[in-house]
Amino acid sequence: MSDLSVIKGRQREMWAAGDYAAVATPLLIVSELLCEAADLRGGSKVLDVATGSGNTALGAARRRCEVTGIDYVASLLKRARERAAVERLDIRFEEGDVEALPYPDGSFDVVLSTFGVMFAPDQERAARELLRVCRAGGRIALTNWTPEGFVGQWFQVTARYAPPPPGLKPPLRWGTEAGLRALFERDMRIERRHYVMRYRSPQHWLEYFRSNFGPTRQTFERLDAEGQESFAADLIALAQRFNRSGDDTFVGPGEYLEVVLTV
C-alpha cells in the first residue's frame, strides 16, 4: 500500500480546495434524516466523524445533544465553527484523524458520519476506531454513496482521469452491503435513499462543482486542455444519463446507503 501519510496530506489539500461548504450545505437534508435514523436523544454524547463544514454536527446539536465534530481539514472546521456560532449552538470542533480518534474507548453514545469516513485510506482501521469510541449498546449511523448511483458513477469517471494510489480499497466499498458487513461484522439496518441535486442545467452543475468541489476542481487543474475537454464531456454525458428533469434543468438523484448499527 502507498504511504498513508502522503495520501492523507494530498486528501487534505483536495478537500480544502474550492469551497466545500458551498457544495455540502444543500446536503443538510441527508444529515437531518441521519440524525432521525439514529434516534438521537437529548443529552447524548455524539461524535460526528469527518464533519467537514459541520452539517451533521449541527443536526445533532439542534436535537440537544452534546456534540463533538472532528475533521483533518482545518479550513473546513473554521467554517463549521462559523455556522455553529450563527445558530448559537454549542459544538466542540477538533482537528483529528478518523484512523486515530483522540478519545478513550466508549466515549460516545452515538457516532455519526455523513459521506465522510468512507474516504479514509485505511478502511478497516477507520471502522475499528468508530467501534472503539462508541460505548457498548450505543449506535453508529453512516451515509455512504453507492457505486451504481450518480455520485458513485461520477467518482468512477473521475478515477479514470485521476487514478487513486495503488493498493487502496475504493471508498465506494462503504456504499455496498457486502463491504459494510465485512468492515463491521455485525447486524445493521441499511436503507437505500436518494439525495436529489437540482441545478439550472447539466452544464451549470458541472461549472458549480468544477469551481467548488475539491476533487473535481483538482482533477481539471492537473489535466491538459485536451484532457479537460474530455473529462468535461464525460461528466456532462453522465449528468444527462441520470437527469430526470424532462426539461433543460438538471435533477439528478444520487443514491446512498443510510446505515445504523448497534455496538
Per-residue model confidence as pLDDT tens digits over 33-78: 999 999 999 999 999 999 999 999 999 999 999 999 999 999 999 9
Average confidence (pLDDT) over 187-192: 97
pLDDT value at 180 more than 70: yes
Average pLDDT estimate for 139-150: 98
Confidence of residue 5 (pLDDT cuts 50, 70, 90): confident
- Name the burial class of residue 190, with classes exposed (0-12), middle (13-18) and buried (19+) by CB atoms within 10 angstroms of its CB: middle
Average pLDDT (159-188) is 95
pLDDT number for residue 114: 98
> What are φ and ψ of residue 262, in 5° steps?
-100, 135
Which pLDDT score, from 0 to 100, does residue 6 have?
A: 87
Of the listed ranges 2-6, 38-42, 130-134, the one predicted with least confidence: 2-6
CA distance 209 to 231: 13
Q: CB-based burial of residue 55 (10 Å sphere; 0-12 exposed, 13-18 middle, 19+ buried)?
A: buried
> What is the average per-residue pLDDT within 241-257?
98
Band (165; pLDDT cuts 50, 70, 90) = confident
Instruction: Say what the pLDDT of residue 2 is.
Output: 55
Distance CA 158, CA 156 (A): 5
The angle at the Cα of 13, spanning 9 to 15, to the nearest 5 degrees, equals 115
Kindly tell me if the per-residue pLDDT of 1 is higher than 60. Answer: no
31 pLDDT higher than 70: yes
Statement: the pTM of the whole predicted model exceeds 0.85: yes
Output the pLDDT for position 55.
98
Q: Strands across the sheet with 108-114, in order?
A: 91-95, 66-71, 45-49, 108-114, 134-145, 250-262, 189-199
| 14-28, 113-127, 184-198, range with the lowest pLDDT | 14-28
Q: What is the mean pLDDT of the chain?
A: 96
Please, are residues 179 and 173 in contact by the beta-carbon 8 Å criterion? yes
Cα 15 to chain centroid, rounded: 11
Q: Render pLDDT for 8-29 as a digit per residue (tens, 0 to 9).
A: 888 999 999 989 999 999 999 9
